Chains A and B, each alone.
Chain A
């Protein structure tokens, strides 16, 4: 028998031909394709912008360092005026899930001064206010796409009942599985392909690894499977299409809007966080106060934690740079608890949100795509940690030179640690 003529293939060809004649299916396929292309293009443009920004910031920073470096005449001023770009370059899949990159900082221009304030400076001017991020692929797939599936599937049966065809169809068909389940599968597959193809295409252009694209596709597939099963079950209910539609949209509202938003409010309440602004202010106060209190107190605070430099001898009458950097670091010590609370609190909120997302599939998909794209809260905190490590390397580089009063040697600047932005 010709393999294309087996009963199974014939049945599928029958329903494909039938589905292809349905204008509403084409309508939604075109809508999904357009939305997917748009979302991927938005994401792509944003990522490109971020890359360009990083590149130009790094270049501008290098240029200004080069320009300024002629004025540096000791290690203290070199450390003071020398700026370093730190950044978290977007991953090759970030175009599909911009995630926290919208409202969490991913670039800093830092120097050897107290660090925590420098990290959270941006949080002061740009508080995060968005629950739903910008329109990217993850948003489309997790929040908009289920609605389109609902529109496509809710009256699969109810419309046939209304048209008086239901009993004719069911009494004619030789295998009932080849009717509603097959129609559901075909419609779902059609729009799913329209959703995935632009994303995969953009991934190919960006050099996204095959396994990342495969994982993302499987995530979206499982999510789609969930919603089409829900639509299938609810639409089998012998109710009017209006009631079925209301029920499905209600389920969407609950799982995609009410649960995530409610959980966010509850989590924010349950896990209080100091604000980034608190950290910045507290640090500024500590650092400013240092000018007014006896140097010994500051140095004692510093040396307690860093006994390594206890032998240091101030070198009057020149400006005491080591003391200056010591009180900067004491500033970091003073905000340590706040910073840790802020960091761990965000991680805990994120962890709880992760558990909650197990009953809110839209959030689960969005989070999964973000973690695949390295754009989630964890990635953002990981970046902050890398900035801290880098900053401590800067201190390790400069402290011996400062505390041992090493003579200034410009050529040693080549050895200043560089931030690895990945």
Chain B
């Protein structure tokens, strides 16, 4: 089922075209990675799915609903992990998760929270420490735990692996693979070509607000990082 859909999407930011007619979609059970240089329009794409940026032309659809026509309904089925996610510094991991889940009216038990924190392998000693005393990667792990706990059909992840160590990145990939296998649709922005090739079914390459290439894996062969890498550099 088509969970996310961009149809000739145009977005203007600060009077300049940030997205210039892009078309792609993400199915349920699929991980789609958006690659591209700085300022290519990756974060802009996610924000337009969330209804924060209105298309000047074209449209975005979430589960078939045009976002513009029902922002609240669209947001309800999506979890967003912002670029360099920062939760509240003056609260610990537990308090942050509880607060953001209450905000979304998502009921979870203590053991759900513990389970999620374990899944992102956040050291149990640090659960009750305020986030201001966390490292960048530790904060990122809490934000990822939040994304799991929201338990929505769609995940929009903006550079989720930034700040994570290699072991944590591997764990994260295993985690989203698992989520996708359970039917979630995942749209992930990343700069990590090799990681993307490892985990994603499809990769979209953005440049100056345009989708300049799309790569798909096949049941027998994952996407070849070499090809993506050279396409990335060629389009620079």
Contacts and interface: CB of A to CB of B under 8 A. Distances in A.
Contacts, number: 55
B173 to A, nearest CB: 22
B78 interface: yes
A311 to B, nearest CB: 91
A174 B99 contact: no
Given A21-B90, A21-B91, A22-B90, A167 B47 contact: yes
A172 B47 contact: no
Nearest to A168: B82
A171 B80 contact: yes
B205 to A, nearest CB: 24
Contact of A167 (B80, B87, B88): B80
A168 B91 contact: no
Contacts of A171: 50, 52, 75, 78, 80
A67 interface: no
Nearest to B47: A167
A169 interface: yes
B52 A163 contact: no
Contacts of B79: 172
B86 A174 contact: no
B103 A172 contact: yes
A168 B102 contact: no
A172 B104 contact: yes
B95 interface: yes
B86 A14 contact: no
A10 B47 CA distance: 29
Contacts of B100: 168, 172
Interface string B85-129: 111101100010001101111000000000000000000000000
A27 interface: no
Nearest to A13: B102
Interface in A174-209: 174, 178-179
A164 B83 contact: yes
A169 B86 CA distance: 11
Contact of B103 (A21, A163, A167, A173): A173
Choose among B47, B83, B88 the residue with the greatest number of A CB atoms under 10 Å from its CB. B88
Contacts of A319: none
Contact of A174 (B85, B91, B103): B103
Contacts of A17: 99
Contact of A23 (B52, B75, B90, B103): B90
A142 B101 CA distance: 40
Choose among B76, B82, B103, B104 the residue with the greatest number of A CB atoms under 10 Å from its CB. B103
A17 B91 CA distance: 11
Interface string A1-32: 00000010011001001100111000000000
B53 to A, nearest CB: 10
Nearest to B150: A172
The 5 lowest CB-CB distance pairs between A and B, nearest first, are: A174-B105, A14-B102, A172-B104, A171-B80, A173-B103
Given A17-B99, A171-B78, 10 more contacts: A10-B102, A11-B102, A14-B99, A14-B102, A21-B90, A164-B83, A164-B86, A167-B82, A172-B104, A174-B76
Interface of B: 47, 50, 52, 75-76, 78-88, 90-91, 95, 99-100, 102-105, 150
